Amino acid sequence: MNGAEIRSIREKCKESSIYCIFGAHAKDKGKFFNCAFLIDRKGRIQHIYKKVNLFSGLELEQTCNGEWNGVIKTDFGDIGIIICWDFAFPEHIKKLSKNGAQIIFCPSYLLKSARISKDVFRSYPLTRAFENLSYFVTCDAFGSDVISESYICSPLKVLNKILHREGIIFADLDLKKIIQLRKKYNCLS
């Protein structure tokens, strides 16, 4: 978990004083996991999430399931991280929201061969944001074998998206609005 690529990302985060979430397969205690790394502004690995819900037949054969590992406190808010196919398990995401996650990040590599329709894929970011009264950010890989669509959603609308190309998208996230919506709709009790 300390290869050259990860060290390079850590250095860039420190240089630019930014956070980064990225996916990688990693070996831990002799087992392989599909992981999402959270690097903080100081270049430290703040959190490693190991994917819980593996996609049968499409994961690397030796990949093991991770365990639910909670909400991460950052200097910009309380966040949750899931990976790709975890999005199909609303109870997993609901648990993050109930435990205080205001923003949920979902890096993905959703293969076209998984035969998930684009309509389903396009509906889940906004649906998960609405049902959890949180911001939901999905970042799919770019390539000919993946769906290549990324979204930033509030509970009420898509704030930004990028389709079928590389790039960076931005949105202003107001966590006070999340608190207000949670009080108004009381959906997480």
What pLDDT sits at residue 45?
97
**pTM given for the model:** 0.94
Q: What is the pLDDT of residue 152?
A: 99
DSSP secondary structure letters along 46-63 = EEEEE-SS--TTTS-TTE
- The rounded distance, in Å, linking the Cα atoms of 186 and 60 is 40
Written as tens digits, the pLDDT of the chain (189 aa) is: 678 999 999 999 999 999 999 999 998 999 999 999 999 999 999 999 999 999 876 666 788 999 888 999 999 999 999 999 999 999 999 999 999 999 999 999 988 887 787 888 889 999 999 999 999 999 999 999 999 999 999 999 999 999 999 999 999 999 999 999 999 987 776
User: What totals of helices (H) and strands (E) does the chain contain, helices first?
Assistant: 4, 10
CB 25 within 8 A of CB 60: yes
For the segment(s) 4-185, the CATH number from 3.50.30.10, 2.60.120.260, 3.40.190.290, 3.60.110.10 is 3.60.110.10
Rounded to 5 degrees, what are φ and ψ at 143? 170, 170
